[in-house]
């Protein structure tokens, strides 16, 4: 159901109400981190530059008008960015030209009123604007300065540029992905942009909690590469203890699982165009239930499949037999039948399944809709966490470019409207 709300800022609701964030973040890794704060009541004030648009503003991605990275419009309508709309819901939006001295002074006034400052530029950008942690502490002694970058803000690679696929490669994630005997596949999606964003949100909330206890601010430095390395624990242990290589004729294992020995374990073709189903069998009980559901054909009595160890040793033959059965059935039918029998199975769902027909997601209220003055009604993925007595404060879709200039500069900084109008004409706001 669509929710059409008054776009004029109001007092926020939620556990983070009253927290003011001066948000210099752009792209996904920073914007998703501060979106989580905005969802639960923080006044996140997104600071933009009219002459250097955030990349997601240049990528229309809604209702049939789609462009991907590398196809961005050089002269876009800045308010048509569907990806920007998703990343920046529930935020306020202002524009400041940080290349001007007056613009930097206004930003410093805003920082003095905020208690959290966030940024995810390449290291050195904020320093060129004079916004070091030492300067921020002069403006606000208890400030939380949350900094997010690819490599971290010190070290020999700290100034290297990065995006999600770069982080995935450097952290080692790309090297261990794919199929055995094939080149590393990586991901088509910037997985680490989102994964690092969750660490960023958690780090900010820990810093807020520490300040509540001690009254002291802090500088937070999150390295997306190090976040990626944190996802490699079992593989690094295997290398260190067993001396295994992370690439070879039998590794990566693709959809197969080695520990514990599980077979069949993989993603199998199903009836329909490009439809698939995941099935995982871990022991003889699972196997017997699977055999019953497939109708106990002759191949299930093959001695090669007598025990879990046997099945694990003959996965190629087993997968071929099982695929012949799964191809004849709808993936959701297989999922429901096997789950009812106690076997872990799931249809591989596409966007249409998630948005339109998944009853679990509908029950949980995973998706919600907000109106937008330019894009129109748009759908968002909600918080994956439900609380008793706490709800997200979804009050508005993403801000139009500079939409909240007058509100923020008059209400928070006390600037006269005439001055705001003059600074806008001069290209400072």
Catalytic residues: 193
**Angle 420-426-428 from CA coordinates, rounded to 5°:** 65
Cis peptide bond N-terminal to 264, omega within 30: yes
**Contact (Cβ atoms closer than 8 angstroms) between residue 367 and residue 355:** yes
For residues 330 and 38, give the distance between their C-alpha atoms in angstroms, rounded to a whole number. 40
Angle between helices 284-293 and 331-340 (to 10 degrees): 130
- Give exposure, 335-347, as e/b (b: 16+ Cβ within 10 Å): bebbeeeebebbb
For residues 58 and 129, give the distance between their C-alpha atoms in angstroms, rounded to a whole number. 25
Task: Report how far Cα 14 is from the mean position of its chain's Cα atoms.
Answer: 22
Which residues make beta-bridge pairs with 23?
46, 118
First to last CA, the chain: 36
- Per DSSP, the residues of 326-369 read HTTS-HHHHHHHHHHTT-EEEE---HHIIIII-HHHHHHT-EEE
For residues 183 and 174, give the distance between their C-alpha atoms in angstroms, rounded to a whole number. 10
For residues 392 and 332, give the distance between their C-alpha atoms in angstroms, rounded to a whole number. 31
Helices then strands (H, E): number in the chain? 17, 14
């Amino acid at each position: 159901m669509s929710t059409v709300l008054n776009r004029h800022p109001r007092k926020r609701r939620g556990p983070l109400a009253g927290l003011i964030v001066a948000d210099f973040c752009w792209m996904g890794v920073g914007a998703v981190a501060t979106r989580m704060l905005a969802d639960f009541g923080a006044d996140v004030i997104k600071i933009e530059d009219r002459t250097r648009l955030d990349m997601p503003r240049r990528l229309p991605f809604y209702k049939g008008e789609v462009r991907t990275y590398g196809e961005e419009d050089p002269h876009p309508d800045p308010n048509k960015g569907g990806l920007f709309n998703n990343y920046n819901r529930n935020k306020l939006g202002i524009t400041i030209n940080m290349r001007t001295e007056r613009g930097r002074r206004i930003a410093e006034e805003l920082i003095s009123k905020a208690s959290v400052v966030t940024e995810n530029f390449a290291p050195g950008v904020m320093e060129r604007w004079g916004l070091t942690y030492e300067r921020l502490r002069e403006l606000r002694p208890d400030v939380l300065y949350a900094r997010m970058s690819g490599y971290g803000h010190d070290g020999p690679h700290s100034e290297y540029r990065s995006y999600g696929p770069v982080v995935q490669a450097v952290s080692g994630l790309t090297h261990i992905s794919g199929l055995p005997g094939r080149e590393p596949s990586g991901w088509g999606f910037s997985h680490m942009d989102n994964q690092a964003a969750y660490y960023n949100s958690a780090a900010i909330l820990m810093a807020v909690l520490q300040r509540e206890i001690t009254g002291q601010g802090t500088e937070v430095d999150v390295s997306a590469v190090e976040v990626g390395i944190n996802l490699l624990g079992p593989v690094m242990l295997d290398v260190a203890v067993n001396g295994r290589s992370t690439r070879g004729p039998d590794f990566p294992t693709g959809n197969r699982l080695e520990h514990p020995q599980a077979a069949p374990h993989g993603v199998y073709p199903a009836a329909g165009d490009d439809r698939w189903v995941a099935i995982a069998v871990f022991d003889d009980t699972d196997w017997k239930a699977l055999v019953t559901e497939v109708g106990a054909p002759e191949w299930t009595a093959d001695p090669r499949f007598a025990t879990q160890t046997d099945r694990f040793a003959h996965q190629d033959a087993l997968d071929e037999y099982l695929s012949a059965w799964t191809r004849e059935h709808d993936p959701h039918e297989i999922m429901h039948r096997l789950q009812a029998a106690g076997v872990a199975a799931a249809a591989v769902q596409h966007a249409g399944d998630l948005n339109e027909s998944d009853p679990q997601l509908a029950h949980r209220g995973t998706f919600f809709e907000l109106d937008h003055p330019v894009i129109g009604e748009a759908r968002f993925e909600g918080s994956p966490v439900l609380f008793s007595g706490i709800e997200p404060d979804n009050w508005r879709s993403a801000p139009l470019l500079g939409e909240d200039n007058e509100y923020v500069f008059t209400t928070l900084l006390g600037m006269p409207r005439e001055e705001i109008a003059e600074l806008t004409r001069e290209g400072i706001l």
